[in-house]
Amino acid sequence: MVIKVFVATSSGSTAIKKKQQEVVGFLEANKIDFQQMDIAGDEDNRKWMRENVPGEKKPQNGIPLPPQIFNEERYCGDFESFFSAKEENIIYSFLGLAPPPGTKACYHGSS
């Protein structure tokens, strides 16, 4: 399973760039495999992202902004839901991934 992060590499928005960097940086730091899908330079990526973000998650203008996160074809969420999952320590379930060994909260090491 591949996590896909839809980003705009040529976004003029500093806020969007920071959000994209935070998602990408977190995935890299936690060694979670992912692909960056550029919507600025690739019309197919932009079209796919817009068509696959669920209706209730789209903003009023109907155009979702990056970063948008998918696990293959399954929509995970936008930056706000990613940030919430990270804060609540449920990022692996948010991404639809099994947590790596040793990250379970119920782990009891030998004492």
pTM above 0.95, yes or no: no
Residue 109 lies in a domain: no
Residue 106 lies in a domain: no
Q: Tell me how many domains the chain contains.
A: 1
pLDDT tens, position by position, 44-75: 999 999 999 999 998 888 889 999 999 999 99
CATH number of the structural domain spanning residue 52? 3.40.30.10
> Would you say residue 85 has pLDDT above 90?
yes
Contact 66, 6 (CB under 8 A): yes
Range of the domain at 64: 3-95
pLDDT tens, position by position, 14-54: 999 999 999 999 999 999 999 999 999 999 999 999 999 99
In terms of DSSP H, where are the helices of 1-111?
Answer: 14-29, 43-52, 79-87, 91-95
